[in-house]
Amino acid sequence: MVKLRARCLLLGDAAVGKSALSHIFYSDGTLFQKNYSMTTGVELLMKCVNIPETTDSVELYIIDTAGKETFVEACKKMWGEPSLLCLVFDLTSEQSFANCSRWMERVQPHCRGLHVPGVLVGNKSDLSARREVQASVASEWAQSQGLDYHETSAKELENCDAVLLSLARAFHSLYQERREAVQNLSPG
């Protein structure tokens, strides 16, 4: 049995649903905040995820941070050194998807040259009539960035578990990989 700990940075444009998702993660899919209140600083939520068919678990320290341009610079200081990335965009806003590459560039200096696994999340899948980003396009871009792709509806509480599990699994397999590498080291 092992308990891993990961600092998971939640990134993406303002109003794509980062805080809505993080509260659903935290409340086990029971709480959707109906009223919008813009995140201007940084909020920390802890969520423990069990890895199926093992006794292992991952404690995710989810850093929900402002997406609004005005606040980003000030919040960057609190990003720290992430272990996982959760990049969110709004499926009904082409612009929020286009800005994802900018978010990836911004977070790079915080990753100390390490590979940081993560997911790309297309949120608001319930608004299908207003969809502007095709799943195939988003999924292809995610792959090019080494991210897993998921679509969610925070409002309908749809598929949010899959995102959490995907994050936890990514960190868990990274740990197993590294432990394997240590096992095969030659003596100094």
Give the residue with the Cβ less far from other proteins, 34 or 115.
Answer: 115
Q: Does 186 bind other proteins (CB under 8 A)?
A: yes
How many Å apart are CA 96 and CA 76, to the nearest integer?
A: 19
The span from the CA of 188 to the CA of 152, in Å, is: 48
Asked whether 80 and 62 are in contact (CB, 8 A), the reply is no
Q: 114 or 137: whose CB is closer to other proteins?
A: 114
d(CA 135, CA 142): 10
R_g of the chain, CA atoms, integer Å: 16
Find residue 118's DSSP bridge partners: 85, 147
x-marked contacts with other proteins along 39-58 as a string, rule CB under 8 A: -------------------x
Query: What residues between 83 and 102 interact with other proteins by CB under 8 A?
Result: 83
Residues between 133 and 152 that touch other proteins (CB under 8 A): none
Residue 5 binds other proteins, judged by CB under 8 A: yes
- Residue pointed to by tokens 């899959």: 162
* Residue number, 103 or 171, with CB nearest to other proteins: 171
Distance in angstroms (rounded) separating the CA atoms of residues 175 and 142: 22
- Does 129 participate in binding other proteins (rule CB under 8 A)? no
What is the binding site for other proteins (CB under 8 A)? 1-7, 58, 61, 81, 83, 114, 171, 174-175, 178-179, 182, 185-188
